[in-house]
Structure 1
C-alpha cells in the first residue's frame, strides 16, 4: 500500500506516549516464604514495575514446583481500597482453592478475583506451574494493608482458621495436619463473600482477527477474548496465537476506549514488538505496557507458535464501544493513525512492512 503524508508525522497534535518493556531475565525474583496461612514451600515471584501506569498497580509472575501451594490470600472488602485481581496460567497444571470449592486449572485458564474474595493456588502437576497476575485499585492508591503477604496481615491467621473450618464443614481438604477445627476460629467467613470466577481456556471459542493491510495485519490470526462482569476496574483479557511471520494490526487505544491501558505478556515463543518509536525483541515471560495513546503491534519472529496474553483496564470508565465488537481497522481513527505512524517510522529510520511505501514531503 502507498501512503501519502504531507505533514510532519513526528509532531502529532499531542505527543504520543511510549511503551515500556520489562524483561524476565533482567528481573530479580523475590522469595515468598512458607507461612502459617497455607503456604507449604518457599517459592519465587518476579515483580514487574510500570510506574507510568494509571490502572495496573502491580504485576507478578510466580512459579510453583509440584506439590507447592501459595498462602490463602484475601483482598478484603474492608481494606482502605478494595483490590481486584486477575490471574492466568502460563504453563503447568494446578488447582484454585477457596473456602467453598476446589477447581482445577490448566494451560491458559483465567481467574478473575473480585475485591473481598479469598483463594489459594497449588501445583497439582509434574512440571513447574507458572502463573501471571496483576491487580488494580482503579484510580486510587492501594493501602499498605491490602498489599501485604497474607501471613503479615493483621487478621491473616484468624481468617485462615475460619476458612479451614468452613472447608472442613463442606468436606473439602484442609492443610496437612489441620483438621479445620482447633477451637481458635471465631464464627464463619462472610457468607456473602464473592468467589473467584474461573474461565477455562478450552471452553472459549476463538475469534478470527482478519488480515487488514490498512492497519498492518498481514494474516488471519486467532484471539480468545474475555470480558469481566465480576470486576469493575479490569475490563478485558485475551490470548493471542500467531504463527511464524504473522503480525497483529498496529493499533492505538485512544481516550474513546475508556481510557484503555494494555499489557502484553509473552507466554510462549519469540516476538517482535513494533511501536512508533522503536522495535524490541521479546522472549518468554517478557512483559510490555502500553499507556493510552500508544501505537503498538506484535509479531512472531520465531520458528514456533507465539502465544501472548493481553489484559486491558479502564479503571471502571466506560468506553464508547466494545473492543470485541469491531475489527481494529473499523475502530475510529485507527487507519489514519497507522498511516501517520508509518510515516513517522520512515522519518526515524525504522523499517516499514514489505507492502508499505510512504510518500512524504
Structure 2
C-alpha cells in the first residue's frame, strides 16, 4: 500500500538527538595473533578486534578463526581479577565444541553461547573446515578492566584457575589437556555459573510481517534469543533476508531500556540505511546503533543475507519486549519513519517506491 507523507515542518534532528551509526569494516581491521599458552590454547590463531568508542555497553568485539583441531585458551573472566565481565559468542560458520569445567557441548552454525562472569569456557574446532566465532564483551556501566585486554595466560591467577578447571573436568571424567599437572589442592567445584548454549536448529523464528508504513517490504524470520542469564546483554538475533528484502526502518528509543544494537554481517551483502547516509556492508562488517539512531538493513546481493544482531541496555528494564510487538506497533515508530523519509528526501537520498510526499 502507498505511504503518504505530509511533512510541512523541519525533519532534521541534531546528532545529539539522533546519533549516527558507526560502521567497522572487516577489511580495515588488522588481526592480531593469539598465542599458544599454558592455559589450553594449543596453536597460534588470528583474532580481529572491533572497537566501538560510541557504544555505552558493547566494550569489545572479537572475530576469531580456528583451523581444524585448534582450541582457544580456557578462561573465566573472574570478577576478582577483571571485574564483572559478560560475553556472548555466536558461531558464524564451521563446527566446534564448547568445553566447560563440567561438560562438553557440540556447536554448529549460528549456535549462541552466553557466558556469565566467572563461567569457564574454551572453544575448539572439531570439524574439517575453519571455525569462525563472533563475540562481544560487556561490563555494563563500568570501565573495562586492564586485565581484560591481556592474553588470558597473562592474567593474574590464570594458571591456578586452569588447574582448578582441569581438576573439575577430571572429576567429571572429561578429557584434560597436555600440561595439566594435577597440583590443584583446593575445592575444584566452587559453584561457578555455567555458559548457556542456545541451538539455532532447535529455535523457532518469529516472523515480522511486511509493513510499508515503517519500510519493511517483505515478511522476515528472526531467531530471537533473550539472554536471561546475563545482566547487560538483553537479546541476540539471527535475521535472514532474501535478495531485495529490507527490515523496517526503526529506532530504539529510551523507552526500550535505553537499548543499543549491533548488526554483524554473517554472510551475504547488505545495504545499511540511515537518515544521514547509506552504506554497503559485506561479510564480517559490523554496525553500531546507539539509542535513538534510526536504521534499516536490506539484502543488496544475490544470495541469502544472514545478519547477527545483539542488543544491550545495561541492565535497564524496557517498557516492552521487542519480540512482543511488530515494529509498526511500537510507540512512535510510524511517526519517526515519516520524519526520516522526509529528511532523506531533503538530503537527496533515495526513498522507497511506495512513499509519496505531499
TM score, norm. by length of structure 2? 0.97
Taking the TM superposition and a 5 Å limit, the aligned residue runs for 1:95-134 are: 95-134=97-136
Question: For residues 357 and 251 of structure 2, what CA distance do their matches in structure 1 show?
Answer: 20
Cα deviation, 1:27-48, whole Å, max 9, x if unaligned, reads: 0001000001000000100111
Could you report, residue by residue, the CA deviation over 1:105-150 in whole angstroms, capped at 9, with x for unpaired residues?
A: 0000000000110100000001000000001000110211234221
CA distance, structure 2, for counterparts of residue 253 and residue 90 of structure 1: 26
- What residue number does 2:265 align with? 266
Write the distance in 2 (CA, Å) between the matches of 1:247 and 1:147: 37
2:57 pairs with 1:55: yes
Q: Name the stretch that deviates more: 72-81 or 232-241.
A: 72-81
- 1:231 aligns with 230
Counterparts of 1:190 and 1:266, CA distance in 2: 39
SS in 1 for 2:53: coil
Task: Work out which of the residue numbers 33, 39, 55 in structure 1 matches 2:41.
Answer: 39
When residues 14 and 44 of structure 1 are mapped into structure 2, their CA distance, relative to the original with a 3 A threshold, is closer
SS in 2 for 1:46: strand
Task: Give the CA RMSD over aligned residues.
Answer: 1.3
Measure how far apart 1:14 and its partner are.
5.7
Unaligned 5+ segments in structure 1 are: none
- Could you tell me how far 1:354 is from its partner in structure 2? 1.2
CA-to-aligned-CA distance 1:176-208 (integer Å, 9 cap, x gap): x34x5x242221334310000000001100110
Deviates more, 1:157-166 or 1:76-85: 76-85
Give 1:162 deviation, angstroms.
Answer: 1.5
Bigger mean CA offset, 30-39 vs 4-13 = 4-13
1:276·1:296 contact (CA, 8 Å) conserved in 2?
Answer: yes
Structure 1: 4+ residue segments shifted above 6 A: none
Q: Which runs of 5+ in 2 are unaligned?
A: none
Matches of 1:80 and 1:100, distance apart in 2: 23
Q: Distance in 1 between matches of 2:77 and 2:186?
A: 19
Q: Is the 8 Å Cα contact of residues 262 and 310 (structure 2) preserved in structure 1?
A: yes
TM-score by length of 1: 0.96
C-alpha contact (below 8 Å) 2:241/2:305 kept by paired residues: yes
Q: Which residue of 1 aligns with 2:309?
A: 310
Answer yes or no: is the 8 Å Cα contact 1:256–1:319 preserved in 2. yes
Shift of 1:13: 10
Separation of aligned partners in 1, 2:146 and 2:13: 41
> Residue 202 of structure 2 aligns with which residue?
203
Per-residue deviation, residues 201-257 of structure 1 (Å, max 9, x unmatched): 011001100000100000101100010111011100110000000000000000000
Equivalent positions of 1:264-303 (< 5 A) are: 264-303=263-302
Count residues in correspondence. 356
